[in-house]
């Protein structure tokens, strides 16, 4: 990714963490310094009715963040006066393609797409563009097509950087190294997953190189550590194999986990193998993992508030509805065909030390910490 503006986002959740906006990019500016960019869609140029149908195509409802998105899109689009059509594809690309086609046929003026596989939607999104439908990618990059107007997501490389640094911080707080660790990645079809891993390894690789961190299995490439479909059971099976194959006479000190479900699978595997619980990272601030953090089990997660991501997406849809240019994006990303404008929100690390501060305005998660 490269920055579209010179300014960067700063998290509003935990100023004390001194987080910067999405990293891993190269500096850049707009061609003319203008504060707005023009959308390529007919919908942006012409606007549409304030009660128009808005499609939302989600990949699945298998994790808390996607379940939250289903509810929050329905609520926020309805509150904004639109008619929401929200569907999930059970992680099946053909099903998502069919759902998007149906949304076009039902007259959707904009479609929000959280892709199952960001490389497999070019043809159906071309149909959307031909019909004058605006397309906004949600949470994940949509690749290999020019039929996408914008992406709204939390910075994926920055998320990985935070996960890597959190793992290192937790290990250093647990005692002196060197530390035995293992690495897990997310689903290879999700374009965020390799970015998470890249960000994490930018922090961890120097420590691997100097011997502070020891990956006992030797598995350090994303292709070796990826978890197909983000499947918790597959992650647990791999962790079982790692522990039986490499840690029969060793203690495992830490594990890089790409999300909370996989983190809990790793902890379960470690406990069943008779290991002391390792330092384990996570992502999404799921309720079960907040409880685990409060209990001193999972070390950390990274919060990406769904309500903020949905609100930003609805804000863009409202601009399109009025026929306005979209506001200036924070970054651009090369999707293989074009530089796509990215609206990047800032994630925040959550540990037991700062959880009450991060969730001060989230009574449900705050209650999990207290109870």
pLDDT of residue 215: 98
Tokens of 167: 């793992």
Q: Is residue 58 a contact partner of residue 115, using CB atoms and an 8 Å limit? A: no
pLDDT of residue 370: 85
- Interatomic CA distance for residues 143 and 59, integer angstroms: 15
Q: Which fold has domain 2-12+19-154+306-345?
A: Rossmann fold (3.40.50)
pLDDT of residue 8: 35
pTM, rounded to two decimals: 0.83
pLDDT of residue 261: 97
Cross-strand pairs, 36: 327
The yes-or-no answer to whether 2-12+19-154+306-345 and 156-304+351-370 have a common fold is: yes
pLDDT of residue 46: 79
- Interatomic CA distance for residues 346 and 152, integer angstroms: 11
- Interatomic CA distance for residues 302 and 190, integer angstroms: 18
- Interatomic CA distance for residues 267 and 51, integer angstroms: 47
- Interatomic CA distance for residues 119 and 110, integer angstroms: 20
pLDDT of residue 152: 98
pLDDT of residue 9: 35
- Interatomic CA distance for residues 256 and 159, integer angstroms: 12
Q: Across the 371 residues of the chain, what is the mean pLDDT of every consecutive 10-residue run?
A: 35 35 31 36 73 98 96 98 98 97 98 96 96 97 96 95 98 96 96 96 98 98 97 98 97 98 98 97 97 97 96 97 94 95 96 95 91 67
Q: Where are the beta strands (DSSP E) in 218-266?
A: 254-256
Q: Which fold has domain 156-304+351-370?
A: Rossmann fold (3.40.50)
- Interatomic CA distance for residues 159 and 194, integer angstroms: 11
In sequence order, what DSSP letters do the residues of 105-132 get, joined into one string? HTT-SEEEE--SSTTS-HHHHHHHHHTT
In sequence order, what DSSP letters do the residues of 263-282 get, joined into one string? HHHHHHHHHHTTPPPPEE--
- Interatomic CA distance for residues 59 and 57, integer angstroms: 7
Q: Where are the domains of the chain?
A: 2-12+19-154+306-345, 156-304+351-370
pLDDT of residue 371: 67
């Amino acid at each position: 990714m490269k920055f579209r503006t010179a300014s960067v986002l700063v998290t509003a959740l935990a100023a004390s963490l001194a987080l910067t906006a999405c990293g891993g990019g190269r500096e850049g500016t707009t061609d003319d310094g203008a504060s707005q960019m023009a959308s390529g869609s007919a919908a942006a140029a012409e606007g549409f009715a304030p009660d128009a149908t808005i499609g939302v195509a989600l990949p699945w409802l298998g994790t808390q963040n996607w379940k939250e998105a289903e509810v929050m899109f329905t609520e926020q689009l309805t509150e904004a006066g639109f008619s929401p059509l929200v569907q999930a594809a059970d992680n099946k690309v053909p099903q998502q393609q069919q759902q998007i086609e149906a949304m076009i046929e039902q007259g959707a003026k904009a479609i929000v797409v959280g892709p199952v596989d960001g490389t497999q939607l070019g043809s159906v999104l071309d149909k959307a563009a031909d019909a004058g439908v605006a397309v906004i990618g949600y949470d994940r990059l949509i690749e290999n097509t020019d039929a996408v107007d914008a992406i709204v997501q939390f910075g994926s490389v920055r998320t990985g950087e935070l996960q890597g640094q959190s793992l290192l911080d937790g290990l250093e707080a647990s005692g002196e190294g060197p530390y035995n660790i293992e690495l897990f990645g997310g689903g290879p079809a999700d374009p965020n997953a390799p970015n998470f891993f890249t960000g994490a390894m930018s922090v961890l690789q120097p420590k691997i190189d100097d011997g502070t961190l020891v990956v006992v299995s030797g598995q350090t490439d994303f292709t070796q550590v990826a978890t197909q479909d983000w499947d918790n059971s597959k992650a647990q099976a791999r962790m079982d194999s790692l522990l039986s194959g490499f840690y029969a006479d060793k203690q495992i000190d830490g594990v890089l986990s790409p999300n909370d479900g996989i983190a809990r699978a790793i902890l379960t595997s470690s406990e069943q193998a008779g290991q002391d619980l390792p330092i384990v990272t996570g992502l999404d601030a799921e309720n079960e993992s907040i409880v685990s953090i409060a209990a001193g089990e999972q070390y950390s997660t990274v919060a990406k508030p769904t309500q903020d991501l949905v609100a930003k997406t609805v804000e863009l849809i409202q601009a399109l509805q009025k026929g306005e240019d979209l506001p200036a994006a924070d970054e651009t990303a090369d999707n293989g065909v074009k530089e796509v404008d990215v609206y990047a929100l800032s994630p925040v690390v959550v540990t037991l030390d700062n959880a009450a501060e991060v969730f001060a305005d989230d009574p449900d998660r705050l209650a999990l910490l207290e109870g």
